[in-house]
Structure 1
Amino acid sequence: MPDPAAHPSPLVKHSLPWISGILTGLLSGVVLGFFLKVIQGYTGEQVYTLLLNIDFVPGLPPTLPEFIEFSLHLVVSVVIGIFYVWWVQRKGHPMFKGVLLGAASSLLYIPLSPLSSRVPDLYDVAAILYWIVGHLLFGIVLGLCGKYINTKKATPFS
């Protein structure tokens, strides 16, 4: 009888990038959310509010309970995490790609800021800097997860 650890089923091999991407997105999204919530709590800059802002989504009320708004943020993070793991598994360079995705996602400040009166102004330098630092942290966490996943390639389930 073949050893399942030495010869994992195709189902397990194909599901692991999804699982890794979901976990990577969840961890990165939670770190970003926690960072921006702490920054908003200490400084009063509405960067966490901006992260959870859904004013612009048609069909949704302008505000929902925080846990629902945060869940929507995590859905976006999971999508990014799945894409990130797929990209790194094909082309390598996990830290570079993680920071690149974090930096690119920080550009969302530009279109999101003018969409609500509850969030920082488009030209609020302090809010922009906190937002960029938070998203670079998001990218670093992506990169660290990608490095961890790449070191696990030697295991039978990679």
Structure 2
Amino acid sequence: MFTRSHLVNSLYIGIFSGILLGLLMKFIQSVTNVKVYTLLLNVDFIPIFGKVQWPETVEFLFHVLISIVITFVFITLAERLHIQDSLPKLWVLSFLLCLPTFGLYFILSTLAIKEVPVWNDWQAFGYWSIAHLFYVWLLAMLYKKKRSTSLR
């Protein structure tokens, strides 16, 4: 059953972790000129969405909304599996949930219309993977931290 705290935690952790992932990708792009941040926010290949020239802030908001959904699923599974107090199990769950994001690099880079890294740019894939591993780590850590502070 979903409680108010479940929803609040999903929003808090999803927004915070999504923003940090986005900022990390933006930093990586600004330092390396490898367009991983552009790829992260890109929606130009999605029917209807792709026809609109969205400002960066709106594209970033789309990214954060996806992070909130991932976090909601993460918290739901953590509670249903009764692993809320085991950080190693939370990391495994977070990794399994985020595993598709690694393969998504290849799909997004292939479908993109605007200039993004090509599907076989291994440097870009490395940056993408490192940033998403940070997200995997962060999701579990923030959930564990939020849970330990709310139990006091």
The TM-score range, normalised by the shorter chain, is: 0.7 to 0.9
- Correspondence for 1:76: 66
Asked if structure 2 preserves the Cα contact closer than 8 Å seen for 1:103 and 1:136, the reply is: no
User: Could you tell me which amino acid in structure 2 is paired with residue 122 of structure 1?
Assistant: W
Asked if structure 2 preserves the Cα contact closer than 8 Å seen for 1:102 and 1:140, the reply is: no
Runs of 4+ in 1 over 4 A off after TM superposition: none
Q: Distance in 2 between matches of 1:51 and 1:40?
A: 11
- Correspondence for 1:144: 141
Q: SS at the partner of 1:55? A: coil
Q: SS at the partner of 1:119? A: coil
Q: Distance in 1 between matches of 2:52 and 2:125?
A: 23
Q: Distance in 1 between matches of 2:140 and 2:3?
A: 21
- Correspondence for 1:9: none
Larger of the two Rg values belongs to structure: 1
- Correspondence for 1:118: 115
**Once superposed, what is the RMSD of the aligned Cα atoms?**
1.9
Is residue 53 of structure 2 the alignment partner of residue 63 of structure 1? yes
Offset of residue 118 of structure 1: 1.3
The TM-score with structure 1 as length reference comes to 0.83
The TM-score with structure 2 as length reference comes to 0.86
Is residue 48 of structure 2 the alignment partner of residue 50 of structure 1? no
Q: Distance in 2 between matches of 1:63 and 1:48?
A: 17
- What is the percent sequence identity of the aligned residues? 31
Offset of residue 14 of structure 1: 1.3
Asked if structure 2 preserves the Cα contact closer than 8 Å seen for 1:99 and 1:142, the reply is: no
